[in-house]
A and B are shown apart, each in its own frame.
Chain A
Amino acid sequence: MLACSLPASFAMGAAEKKDGPYAGAGICQECHVEQTKSMSKTPHWKKAIKDSPVANKGCESCHGPGTTHVSEGGGTTKGLITFGKKETAKQKSGACLVCHENSKEMTFFDVGVHKQNDVTCVDCHTVHNSAVHNLKTTQPGLCLACHRNMRSQLNRQAHHPIQEGKVKCTDCHTPHGGFGPKMIRADSTPDLCYKCHAEKRGPFAFEHPPVAENCLTCHQPHGSNHENLLTSKSPRLCQGCHTPNGHNNRPYSFQNRLGGSATGSQNRFVSQGCLNCHGNIHGSNRSPFFVR
């Protein structure tokens, strides 16, 4: 009932809203030889896919009606969507979403920050070749072109193997929009991290509260100067919360290092710092102090 009552235009993309007659399939390739040649290798040019451009209006399925363009010998792009600077983000993405919105990957594009910031499909994809997912370049370079502040983090001494090509940005983030914070592929940060780090799921008899709530309290996922992607080095990281009396309130200064001159059986910060004893810091089934 609802479907019948909705105006058909709700389902129409930018290309369909363009006016003017269509020039017809086949005429484009007379001039645009290279483009149509490369297109022929892509899924967009497979008639077996019933909604593909080639099964509909060919190039004009995406670029809009080209009669004016053809009649003027290619001298004008009037009426066409060129996916260039003259079109708005909505027009450019709209041409793709006419078909691709009917998919689980793209249906939530409106929800995402990319759409909100006028990032369009053609900023990342080029449909005129057959590269993997038609991406303009490989990850992470593609994402770093905009997210420049990530470059420094990926280059730090502790990092996920992103630059090495073993982990991709899209393993954790969905660039096409989703419900998770920061467009992650999960409902929450721990839920995302548990996908690879299943051993941290617990539930443990003794839980460390920030671990159960947010991995990012202690870790920087994109890269860190500190081993294990920590936000700062132990013991200072742990002392951010644990400062009451006891061995955890000491400054552990330069004198307390390996080879330092300080004395006292608990007055050393070496190697893993607090984790030298509290090794099960993500949760334990033996010790409330995480030492077993």
Chain B
Amino acid sequence: MRVTSFVTLTALGVILNLTPCSPVYSEEQDFTGNIDITGETSNVNGSKAKSHEYSDGRTSKVTGDVNFSHNSPGFFFGFSAKDPGYDTQHYRLEGGSYGVLKGWFDYNVIVHNVTTGARSFYSGVGSDNLTLTGTPSADSNTWVSGFDYYTKRKKFNTGFDLKMISPFFFNAEYSHEKKEGIKPTGTQGSFSGTNYFIELPEPIDYRTNSINLEAGYARTPFFLSFNYLYSNFNNQMSDLNFTTDTATGRGGPNFSLAPDNKIQRFTLKGSVKLPMNSKFNMSLSDARTTSETSSFDSFRGKVDTKNYDLIFTTNPMRFLEGKVYYKYYDRDNKSYSGAVVNLFDTAGLETFVTNPIAYTKNTFGGDLGFRLPAKFHLSAGYKNVKTRRKLVDEIDPGSINPEDVLPYTTDNIFNADLKWNGLDFMSAWIGYKRLARGATYQTTESRNLIFRNYSYAAQDSDIFKTGVDLSPIDDLNLSFEYDYKRSIYNDTLFGVKGSTSNAISFSGDYAFRKLLRFSTYFDAEKTTLDQLATTSATTRSPQWKSTLEDITYGYGAKAEIYAIPKKLTFTLQGDYMRNHGTNDFDFYGTTAQFLTAFQLPAGGSGLPVNIPNVDSYRRYSLRFVTAYNWSDSIVIKAGYIYDRYKYSDAQLNGYQYVVTPIAAPIGYITGAYANPSYNVNTVFLALTYRF
């Protein structure tokens, strides 16, 4: 009813006020907009999915955009339509009455093309039932299913914002999203008693409905709001059934899909201004998430989440600012904890123990800012984060698998930043941040484990940043930034031992009178990740070390040449992006141990082990556009775009659908992410009419 009233009100407003534009600046009405029509055709060599990753896959198309808006003293109305009929379409209708009500309808589609031309020996790809008669053929060319990996989101959103009751406010929003597609997943299965890894096409058919209501009061010095969120996720399929032997105790021929779930959250937010330019702010929320599964009779998912934020800010003197804060976040997992029996295991023998994860984070800290002479600004802060992780069944923690007992951690974080704005044409800054994380293991058994999960392990981390902005002359802007980060895990024997990152970025732009505008940039980053491992659960000396290195850089330039000012413009743009990823190894101990442990072929010590290509790629883009303003209302654009992407990775190069290291296959894969390289030539012609 409220939506109907809003539409009626808006339409009435438009009808009453849809009159020609009136002159100049008096608060009068106007009607503006534009219509764009673009025709383009492209020639794709290589991966059609990667070249159109987030766009419609059609290579020849005519797209149209429409935007118009109407403003009157009392009402406003707007409509936009982008790419109607295509996978990137977006529509928005909004309107309302100034100071009274605002409402909108929005429909948006986001496509993500992952891989085209994938294949599977299963029938029924896209459904929740993958079937196969007999065993998979070793010749992937005979496989029965060809399909694409992709996802498509279609989201409808509507709502209104009631302003007429100011200083009170009320707004409501509803959204419905449908997500469909196929994504690659993997499982372990067997055929004729032999185990294989099998890449499965997992169907996606989700619906999410959400309602958000908010009411409050906002009039300085007070603010108070109450928010209610309800979101219901529904998966049209609960399991992915696939043909495989069931005798191996791997969970039967059913792959569990995302369970239906619901979340309800209540949030109370508020603030009050206090003397001495101070303010107290708070946000308190309480949420419950529940889920259902058909797998286990006894399991019901239930997690309660509480979050309390309290922040006090002050600016008592011109040169001093401060903030102190406290945050409490608790994930209380009330899901069933204990043994469950897999209902799909017909023998009824397969039982597992669930492991609901719960944790509590307590955070407090403060920041101080000082405005110093000569336009220096110094700020410094400290933050302490204590995280207590637990398994729900803590009656006898010693009985829990020590690998499942997660440590408590305490983070001490310090930061300091100094900025200088002493010159009109220059500003510079330097900053440092340090994290010192301590980890406490809850049981003797977990403390004595020789490996550490790096996300919980003790860590020392340093971040250093500096940069400068320059405008030495009018219309010339330059900026330079350097970032360094290092993390060390000193208490970790095996797993991630350390990582570093060095990054620089430069950008500049220059305008020469009204004839030329030129901009350029350069970004580069080098990252390393060091890991140690052993082949034994008890040996405390490392047997191999891995160093992953990514060298990533990109640069580009763009020139806009105003050949005939306000009439004819040429735009030339080029961009390049590259990543060179490598993975080097060091081995400790004897060569014989290494060969035995890792099953390299005899005499393999002379073979290359370092990986020269880990997600290495190069992307080139060149575009040339001519824009001609035929009149104040009509613009014609024509252009050419060249895009090239070249990808190399040891895990995907020389792709085999049937993975066969020696005589017999060990796995079946479908082509997901394979061969993403492409080059594309595109020409387009566009006409814009503005009114």
* A residues in contact (CB < 8 Å) with B: 2-3, 6-7, 10-11, 29, 33, 36-41, 43, 45-50, 52, 54, 85, 90, 101-104, 107-108, 110-111, 116-118, 130, 148-149, 151-152, 155-157, 161, 164, 166-167, 179, 187-188, 191, 194, 198-207, 209-210, 212-214, 217, 225-227, 232-233, 236, 239-245, 249-251, 253-255, 257-273, 275-280, 284-288, 291-292
Contacts and interface: CB of A to CB of B under 8 A. Distances in A.
Contacts of A155: 523, 554, 575, 577
Interface in B284-301: 285, 289-291, 293, 295-296, 299, 301
B537 A287 contact: no
Given A2-B272, A243-B533, A254-B612, A262 B600 contact: yes
Given A188-B307, A188-B329, A203-B356, A287 B367 contact: no
Contacts of A104: 169, 214, 216, 218, 223, 225, 269
Given A116-B321, A164-B55, A156 B667 contact: no
B54 A161 contact: yes
A205 B296 contact: yes
A277 B251 CA distance: 13
Given A10-B274, A258-B655, A292-B252, 18 more contacts: A3-B222, A36-B25, A38-B25, A85-B424, A102-B220, A108-B281, A164-B55, A187-B285, A202-B261, A205-B352, A227-B615, A236-B529, A240-B453, A240-B495, A258-B650, A258-B656, A261-B601, A262-B604
20 contacts: A38-B25, A39-B25, A148-B479, A157-B645, A161-B54, A166-B88, A179-B311, A207-B333, A212-B359, A243-B495, A249-B533, A257-B651, A258-B659, A262-B661, A264-B661, A271-B672, A279-B185, A279-B200, A285-B256, A286-B256
A164 to B, nearest CB: 4
Interface string B558-600: 0000000000000000010101010101010000000001111
Given A47-B27, A254-B650, A279 B607 contact: no
Interface string B15-28: 00000000011111
B623 interface: no
B536 interface: yes
B283 A198 contact: no
Given A101-B220, A251-B609, A255-B600, A46 B651 contact: no
Nearest to B656: A258
A-side interface mostly? loop
B453 A241 contact: yes
Q: 4 closest A-B pairs (Cβ-Cβ)?
A: A203-B301, A279-B185, A199-B258, A152-B523
Given A210-B455, A285-B295, A286-B254, A257 B650 contact: yes
B292 to A, nearest CB: 9
Nearest to B310: A179
* Most chain B CB neighbours (cut-off 10 Å) among A90, A149, A276: A276
B322 to A, nearest CB: 10
A110 B313 contact: yes
Contact of A276 (B186, B321, B597, B619): B186
B667 A268 contact: yes
A241 B254 contact: no
